[in-house]
Structure 1
Amino acid sequence: MSTDFDSEGAAPAPAKQHISWSDSYTKANTAIKALASIVRRVPSSLTSSETPAFSLLHDSEIASQISDLLRQPDSSAGDNSLCRWLYDTFHSSEPDLHLVVLRFLPIIAGVYLSRVALHKPLAGFEAILLALYAHETVARNGQAVTVTIPDLSHSSIYHETKQTAKSSSTELALAVISSSLEPFSSVRSTKRARIVGVALELFYSKISQIPLQSKLDFCEFCKIWAGEKGCDPSETTQTGKNNNLLIGDSTAPAAAGSSISSKEERKKGRINLSREILHPTLRILGHCMMANHQKKELQEAARAACRCLYARALHDISPKDILATGSLLKLAKFAEDAAGDEIDYTEITFSNKITL
């Protein structure tokens, strides 16, 4: 699908050169001035800040205004001014401005995937997603994202064995987390999940720098993506937004505490949870549940989202997804139990012996 933006959708290569404070300050202020013509009000604290990009990332008032605009029925159109601003802002070489765009990725991806089946204009969101995808394509330089794991057919170095080693070197197995990327100039239906998934992988790589509300937004969209078969009907949203509003139904109520639980609403938001989307989603939820610095609110929201995805996997009878979501829930429970165990260090003396 073509867009009204750059036809290639390409982002520049990650900047290698040092970015001076003055350059960063100028670019951020330029972005804030451009945003002033789109939102209702720009807080004076942004224009007077010595670190405007950082302030823009963490300002709750401006974030709320942008989030509301992204949920409007025409927000994903190719001529949408906010989409243009997000696209241009990401193409800057300022890392903090990249984070500003990533901060709204949960809403962009959530609304986008929920609107695909509704045949609404999507060119504006697709241009942003292509920019994120192209950025990762350049950054990876044709390489897959991999990890190495021990070959379990070999004995552990921590145990004695009579078995002769197969080789003198430590053999490792290579596991591909994300395969190499090929450039795309448009979003085709067969590549949509891959493009969105890579954008989520980029979000995950910066998640420690992303504000709390953005992660809460992501957890809520995970519930919506799971559909009416995925969640307990008694659940309500953390954000107080009705699902119809999230996917662009201007007639939906937006009262605080409104539910997204009705079957009709969840049918509208339910998506095909392909592995390209589910894998980075579970990594994000895993961070939200188990990172030791996270707030209780986020941990509970992430657990609720993962339970929805687990229920969806059970409904779909997908063994791999059942194993992945179920294992993540168990790991989170183990981490919670371990964190709750208190050690009485007054009982530990130098005469204690440590045994394995």
Structure 2
Amino acid sequence: MENQTSSAIAGPGSARSEDDAASASASASNPNPMQAWWEGIARARSRIHALSAIVGSSPSLDSLADSDRPAKALLDSPDVSSAVSSALSAPLSGAGDNPLCQWLYETFQTSDSDLHLVVLRYIPLLAGTYLSRVVSASREEPLAGFEAVLLSLYAAETKARAGKPLLVNVPDLSYPSLYHAPRNPPPTANPKLGVTPPTPPPVVGVLSPPLEPQNAVKSTKRAGIVAVALDWYYRKISLMPAASKVEFCEYLIGWAGQSCPCVHDLDRDDATSLRLTTFSEEEQVDSECSEPAVEEELGKMSIKDGPSCNGSIVENKLSVVIAGAVISVSNVRGARIPLPWELVQPILRILGHCLLAPLNPQEVRDAASIAIRCLYARATHDLFPQVIIPTRSLIQLDRSTRLAAMAVASSNSNVNTPTKPKKPEILLVSK
């Protein structure tokens, strides 16, 4: 695997077009904004033509190359997204000589930040397919192409951090809350001794240890490498299209692998009927979650198996009841995978954005609502307190947000409801 990954990394690097290197050197020597803008347009059009040779030429791709902002159009095009998703989901898409993986690798190696967004847009699909295939016991196809793209992001992050860890200041727990802690605490002086004791240093926590350079994706380093790629995605998530966020949530539901009623633990008061519409035939409900009412509902469920991602991964439709409303996701992808803490950290950040960002469409919030409940059920079964606490908090925030929106909608409907005008009162006066 190491040789295949190394050759996959060296192959696309040697196959990079000479016009990219020439344009980069020219832009460095001549910092003309107009020339740099034109070189970015030419570079994006070159990458679009290279992509059309891989997924097939179409009028939509030709129109993207002729637009004023080809990189932005390539990022937001639903036709290109469908074509690339189908190609990445093909059985042999992860091979080292796969042209689409080479295209993603070469596109990320360019110095164009807009083209970097195009590569990051497909990170959920690439990471989801890769991790789901790695855990498959019957896997025979190589995955060096996927690993080359992931290692390119990991190498860029390793170079940017320069061997330093990511640190975070931990609040002082001696104060009742964050609002009671002074930002700049004054030193406490002792006038009798004439000595001013030093201010205690702030508590610093390590958010991420220093990254070590990696030439291949080893089994012990796989979660960390994928976590770095997902962290790249999170930093640019506000610029990602809604379809990419929905894909991430769909894969996370498959990664969690929980099709038991535990996903409804925090919503039982709002649900009038506990209904888990479909689930995989290969996954069984845990005996500890079995209740008479639940078993009766499970007997009424219909099972619908969809197409497979690589021959062993089943795609399903999943529906849950949240805040009195039925929320469903139409496509559950991926397979159950190990979820260590280093991989869960960027997952929680991405889910927090998908749940709480005000500009996200409703489909993104619905998919994230189901995904966070599946992750909570997985953490409950694994007895993982580091995941139970944040997922439970996100679920409570999601429920309160939905209930508040329902209250506002009902109040607005009552105000706008036309009322029948009353007849004027007629007073009868006797003479």
Per the shorter chain, which TM-score range?
0.7 to 0.9
Separation in 2 of the partners of 1:319 and 1:155?
23
Q: Is 1:80–1:124's contact at 8 Å kept on the other side of the alignment?
A: yes
Equivalent residue, structure 1, for 2:204:
174
Separation in 1, partners of 2:92, 2:222:
20
1:40 to 39, 56, 76: 56
Contact 1:79–1:124 (CA under 8 A) maintained in structure 2? yes
Conserved 8 A contact 2:127-2:226:
yes
Distance 1:243 1:214, change over 3 A: farther
Moved more, 1-10 or 133-142: 1-10
Give the superposition deviation at 1:242: 6.6
Change (3 A) 1:8 1:79: closer
Of stretches 167-176 and 88-97 in structure 1, the one that deviates more from structure 2 is: 167-176
User: Letter of the aligned partner of 1:48 in structure 2?
Assistant: D
Mapped pair 1:212 → 2:212: no
In the superposition, relative to structure 1, how do residues 126 and 158 fare at CA in structure 2: closer, same or farther (>3 Å)? closer
What residue number does 1:125 align with?
146
Instruction: Select between 320-329 and 133-142 the one with higher mean Cα deviation.
Output: 320-329
SS, match of residue 6 in structure 1: helix
Which digits, 9 at most, give the CA deviation of each residue in 1:214-252, with x for residues without a partner?
000000000000114466852589xxx977533x22997
* Aligned residue pair count: 327
2:187, 2:198 within 8 Å by CA — same for their partners in 1? Answer: yes
Q: Deviations over 1:272-314 (max 9, x none)?
A: 0111111110110000000111111111110100000111111
Work out whether 1:276 is the aligned partner of 2:276: no
Q: 1:138 to 1:9 in 2, by over 3 A?
A: farther
Counterpart CA distance in 2 for 1:143 and 1:197 is 17
TM-score (norm 1): 0.81
- Give the Cα–Cα distance (whole angstroms) in 2 for the partners of residues 81 and 334 of structure 1: 46
One-letter amino acid of the counterpart of residue 135, structure 1:
A
Structure 1 residues 129 and 244: CA distance shift in structure 2, 3 A: farther
Distance 2:306 2:120 in 1: 22
Q: Is the 8 A contact 2:172 2:181 kept in 1?
A: no
Equivalent in the alignment of 2:379: 313
**Partners of 1:77 and 1:70 in 2: CA distance:** 11
Distance 2:151 2:65 in 1: 30
How much has 1:321 moved relative to structure 2? Answer: 1.9
Q: Pick one of 253, 273, 277 that aligns with 1:234.
A: 277
1:320 positional shift: 2.2
Q: Name the structure 1 match of 2:96.
A: 78
Looking at structure 1, the residues matched to 240 and 55 of structure 2 have their Cα atoms a distance apart, in angstroms, of: 21
* d(CA) in 2 for partners of 1:242, 1:23: 48
Gaps of 5+ in 2: 14-23, 189-196, 264-274, 281-303, 320-330, 412-431
Aligned partners of 1:78, 1:297: CA distance in 2, in Å? Answer: 35
**Can you list the C-alpha shifts for 1:63-105, whole angstroms capped at 9, x where unaligned?**
1100011001001111111011111111010001111011000
Work out whether 1:6 is the aligned partner of 2:9: yes
Residue matched to 2:73? 55
Q: Tell me if the contact between 2:125 and 2:247 (Cα under 8 Å) persists in the aligned partners.
A: yes
Higher-RCO chain (CA-CA 8 Å, sequence separation at least 6): 1
Q: Within 1, Cα distance between the matches of 2:374 and 2:381?
A: 11
Contact 2:95 / 2:145 at 8 angstroms: preserved in 1? yes
Larger Cα-atom Rg: 2
2:370 is aligned with 1:293: no
CA distance in 1, matches of 2:42, 2:114: 13
Distance change in 2, residues 1:169/1:78 (3 Å): same
Percentage of identical aligned residues: 43
Alignment partners' CA distance in 2, 1:85 and 1:9: 8
Matched, 1:304 2:370: yes
Equivalent residue in structure 2 for 1:249, among 306, 311, 330? 311
Match of 1:249, as an amino acid? Answer: G
Structure-1 separation of matches of 2:164 and 2:404: 37
Matches of 1:199 and 1:227, distance apart in 2? 22
